[in-house]
């Protein structure tokens, strides 16, 4: 037990150090901007990720430690799964599961990148804990706690709704209905509605825009491209690692842990089906990974295969971490290089004012790195949080815009006959423009 606690504490310390060193990605900076304008919810996602950034505001003088509250919450997933599995697994097997999590590209290193995945994974895991307790003890307190956890999960990411069909199918397939206390179910529903009320209220006030956006985002295409399904399947096998995926697929858990299969394969199957309608992003089934890794523990060769898993993902993560210290490595991937480019670009905000950007990623990153409020120019790219802000439209007779040279301009620029002048080009492919009102 001491070794497990030491592993948990040491890995948390490593995460906190790395989280402070690695610059915020563009999406993280976007959620940080949300935290500068607290709301009940937001157009793109529910509010929990911005609330976590808000809690970290006082840590901003410590490099990028604004991430720390979310990192600590994410690391708590390991503790929750210890509580879930401790009566069913020996400590040595749980230690294997912990290594599988720590070296997972999304559950391990990925937990340093603060997105809605972190809190939804935490509340998904917490909901499993309370659901099992509710079925075992029939305690009304457990049913209420389950509702609260699901509600908070809904304020994290809408994918938490998949918890309900996973649980219902488990109860139906395993003939567990007699263990359900129906008065407790009513309490779960009421608690869930109460704790997710910020999202419901915001959507009611804004024409349910967020719900509509997410539905279209996941089911947006009318024609089918077989590449969507193929890349989804291959991507999930790679992320989990082929040997671990096989171990989870072929494992035979004891009767008391058969629920793992429903909470592992349920989300994967759902997103497999949606891959016939639209492209599925690799991180969407992240809620399935803890249960899938737990399933893999019941394959006889998992400890033998663990070393290959650790070597492979350990090498990949080491290269990514190396980009912090070796600039040439950043060119391996555009997404890795992007935060560093935006960090350099943020100096423009200290030179000219008011400064606008052509995408939410660029505007958010410039704002975060410079600490000078920088907005996306309204209508210059797809609708997002910035388009809802009054500052998205310049109020004076002059403003500046930084954009990639290939990007266009919104129609209202031409309709209002703003006069444009190029100030300078900025490597590698940005340009700073000045606009004056005639």
Q: Residues 176-202: pLDDT tens digits?
A: 988 999 999 999 999 999 999 999 999
**pLDDT tens column, 155-173:** 999 999 999 999 999 999 9
- Residue 218, pLDDT score: 56
* Residue 249, pLDDT above cutoff 80: yes
Strand pairing report for 375-376 and 398-404: unpaired
225 — pLDDT class (breaks 50, 70, 90): confident
- What is 28-73 written as a DSSP string? HHHHHHHHHS--S--SSS-SHHHHHHHHTGGGTTSTTGGGHHHHHH
Tell me the percentage of the chain whose pLDDT exceeds 70: 98
Closest CA to 79 of 166, 7, 148: 7
* Residue 423, pLDDT above cutoff 70: yes
Give the integer Cα–Cα distance in Å for 126 and 144: 13
Which is it for the CA torsion 291, 292, 297, 299, positive or negative? positive
pTM score, whole prediction = 0.94
- Residue 96, pLDDT score: 95
Q: Looking at residues 201-223, what average pLDDT do you find?
A: 79
- Residue 25, pLDDT score: 95
Residue 423 CB-density burial (10 A; 0-12 exposed, 13-18 middle, 19+ buried):
middle
336 — pLDDT class (breaks 50, 70, 90): confident
Q: Looking at residues 148-152, what average pLDDT do you find?
A: 98
- Residue 222, pLDDT score: 66
113 — pLDDT class (breaks 50, 70, 90): very high
Do residues 401 and 433 touch, judged by C-beta distance below 8 A?
yes
* Residue 140, pLDDT above cutoff 80: yes
* Residue 217, pLDDT above cutoff 80: no
149 — pLDDT class (breaks 50, 70, 90): very high
Tell me the percentage of the chain whose pLDDT exceeds 90: 83
* Residue 260, pLDDT above cutoff 80: yes
* Residue 337, pLDDT above cutoff 60: yes
């Amino acid at each position: 037990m001491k070794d497990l606690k030491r592993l948990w504490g040491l890995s948390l310390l490593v995460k906190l150090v790395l989280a402070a060193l690695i610059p915020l990605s563009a999406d993280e900076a976007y959620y940080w901007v949300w935290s500068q304008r607290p709301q009940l919810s937001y157009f793109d996602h529910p509010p929990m990720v911005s609330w976590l950034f808000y809690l970290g505001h006082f840590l901003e003088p410590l490099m990028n430690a604004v991430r720390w509250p979310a990192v600590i919450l994410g690391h708590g997933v390991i503790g929750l799964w210890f509580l879930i599995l401790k009566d069913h697994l020996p400590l040595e097997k749980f230690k294997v599961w912990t290594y599988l999590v720590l070296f997972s590209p999304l559950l391990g290193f990925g937990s340093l990148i603060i997105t809605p995945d972190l809190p939804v994974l935490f509340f998904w895991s917490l909901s499993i804990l309370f659901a099992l307790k509710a079925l075992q003890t029939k305690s009304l307190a457990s049913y209420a706690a389950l509702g609260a956890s699901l509600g908070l999960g809904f304020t994290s990411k809408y994918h938490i709704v998949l918890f309900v069909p996973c649980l219902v199918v488990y109860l139906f397939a395993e003939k567990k209905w007699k263990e359900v206390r129906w008065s407790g179910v009513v309490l779960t529903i009421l608690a869930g509605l109460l704790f997710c009320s910020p999202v419901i209220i915001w959507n009611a006030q804004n024409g349910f825009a967020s719900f509509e956006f997410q539905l279209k985002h996941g089911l947006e295409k009318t024609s089918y491209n077989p590449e969507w399904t193929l890349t989804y399947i291959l991507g999930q096998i790679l992320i989990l690692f082929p040997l671990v995926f096989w171990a989870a697929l072929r494992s035979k858990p004891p009767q008391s842990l058969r629920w793992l299969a429903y909470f592992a394969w349920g989300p994967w199957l759902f997103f497999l089906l949606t891959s016939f309608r639209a492209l599925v992003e690799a991180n969407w089934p992240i809620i399935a990974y803890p249960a899938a890794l737990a399933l893999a523990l019941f394959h006889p060769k998992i400890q033998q295969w663990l070393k290959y898993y650790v070597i492979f993902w350990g090498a990949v993560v080491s290269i990514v971490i190396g980009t912090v210290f070796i600039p040439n490595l950043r060119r391996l991937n555009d997404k890795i290089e992007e935060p560093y480019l935006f960090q350099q670009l943020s100096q423009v905000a200290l030179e000219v004012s008011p400064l606008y950007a052509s995408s939410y990623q660029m505007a958010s990153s410039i704002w975060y790195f410079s600490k000078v409020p920088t907005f996306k120019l309204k209508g210059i790219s797809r609708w997002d949080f910035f388009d809802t802000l009054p500052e998205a439209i310049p109020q004076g007779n002059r403003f500046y815009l930084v954009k990639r040279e290939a990007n266009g301009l919104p129609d209202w620029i031409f309709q209002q006959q703003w006069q444009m002048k190029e100030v300078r080009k900025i490597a590698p492919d940005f340009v700073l423009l000045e606009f004056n009102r005639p």
